[in-house]
């Protein structure tokens, strides 16, 4: 287990022709290494809390009444339930299939969003998680 994070955010297989290797991706940094800030009242120094408020009625909304909605037109929403999202989820075989290799430097590094670490078979190497 890596010292920087206890759980892989993705596990699967890397397939290259007839060779398949199990891999797990871990973030390259831990949350303990990041600095985070809280919102505070400048006058009192007290921490601020956010409250859910209905945009039209301006009434507070409890967590039990909170849901998801897809905005299909300005201020017009279709509500979506968790079971509906589960029903349309794309199945993944958790396998990365490599079709071809590109030249080094051919991809603009600005497409990379976060450094990740691949731990497979006891070896560690840094890779880039591109989205």
pLDDT digits over 74-98, tens only? 989 999 998 998 888 777 777 777 7
The strand ranges marked E within the chain are: 10-16, 19-27, 68-73, 76-80, 95-97, 112-120, 123-130
- Is the pTM higher than 0.75? The answer reads no
Nearest to 130 by CA among 5, 14, 2, 25: 25
Name, in order, each residue with C-beta under 8 angstroms of 102's C-beta and a sequence gap of 6 or more.
Answer: none
33-47 pLDDT tens trace: 667 788 888 999 988
* Joined tokens for residue 20: 């398949």
Structural domain boundaries of the chain? Answer: 10-130
Please list the alpha-helical segments (H only) found in 10-89.
82-87
């Amino acid at each position: 287990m890596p010292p920087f994070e206890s759980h892989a955010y993705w596990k699967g297989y890397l397939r290259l022709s007839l060779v398949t290797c199990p891999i797990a991706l871990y973030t390259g940094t831990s949350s303990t290494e990041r600095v985070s800030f809280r919102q505070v009242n400048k006058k009192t120094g007290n921490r601020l809390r956010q409250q859910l408020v209905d945009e039209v009625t301006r009434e507070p909304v409890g967590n039990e009444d909170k849901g998801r909605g897809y905005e299909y037109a300005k201020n017009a929403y279709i509500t979506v339930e968790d079971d509906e999202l589960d029903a349309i989820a794309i199945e993944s075989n958790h396998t990365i299939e490599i079709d071809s290799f590109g030249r080094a430097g051919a991809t603009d590094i600005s497409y990379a969003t976060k450094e990740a670490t691949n731990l497979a078979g006891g070896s560690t190497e840094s890779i880039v998680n591109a989205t």
